[in-house]
Amino acid sequence: MAGFALLLLLFVASVYAVALYNQLVLVKHNVVKAWANIDVLLKQRNDEIPKLIDICRQYARFEASLLARLTSTRAAAVAAQQGASAYSVGRAEGALRAEVAQVAAIAEAYPDLRANTQFRALQERISGLEAAIADRREFYNESVRINNVTIERFPATLLAGWFAFRPAELLKFSDD
């Protein structure tokens, strides 16, 4: 009878460990999926910036130094995406968002530029992508929170340590 109880206890513990492991895998993949959603939107937005720069360059008096900063800031944001560190992406994206906002602010002094339908369409597209990025960032950060809480809870922390599940970084933009 004691042997049966021990076998039953081992069976229940094994089923629990498998369920716990599967939960850890699920939350880890939710973080990866949420990051991929943000990555797609960031790439789409970054693809629009050269078009914005080209349109602004058509206006001879437009701030050349601002366009140069915007170009280099975009390059830094693209490079940060390659590393996939939430911290470096957040810093680079915060700087890029500030430069894009600066372009919009300075464009107010150029009525011909503001009247340009391509410029307005790009501003609307970039603004829409920014809203989508904010929405996806919220989802990503919630996925990270769930992941981090799950791997810190006992007894999941034991399995997380054994199978190298690591906490994920929140995505914070430097202008937050």
pLDDT at residue 55, as a whole number:
86
Compare 2 and 40 and report the one with higher pLDDT.
40
Tokens in use for 146? 């769930």
Residue 57 · residue 68 · CB < 8 Å: no
| Vertex 17 angle, CA 153 and 165, to 5° | 55
Q: What is the band of 60 on the pLDDT scale with cuts at 50, 70, 90?
A: low
Full DSSP string of 82-101: HHT-HHHHHHHHHHHHHHHH
User: What average pLDDT score do residues 121-139 get?
Assistant: 94
129 pLDDT more than 60:
yes
pLDDT at residue 83, as a whole number:
78
Architecture label for domain 31-162: Up-down Bundle (1.20)
Cα distance between the two ends of the chain:
62
pLDDT at residue 61, as a whole number:
67
Compare 32 and 55 and report the one with higher pLDDT.
32
Q: How far is CA 54 from the centre of its chain?
A: 26
Rg (CA), the chain: 23
CA dist list (Å): 130 to 3, 42, 97, 166? 62, 9, 9, 29
Q: What is the dihedral of CA 30, 31, 32, 33, to 10 degrees?
A: 50
Q: Where are the domains of the chain?
A: 31-162
Q: What is the band of 111 on the pLDDT scale with cuts at 50, 70, 90?
A: confident
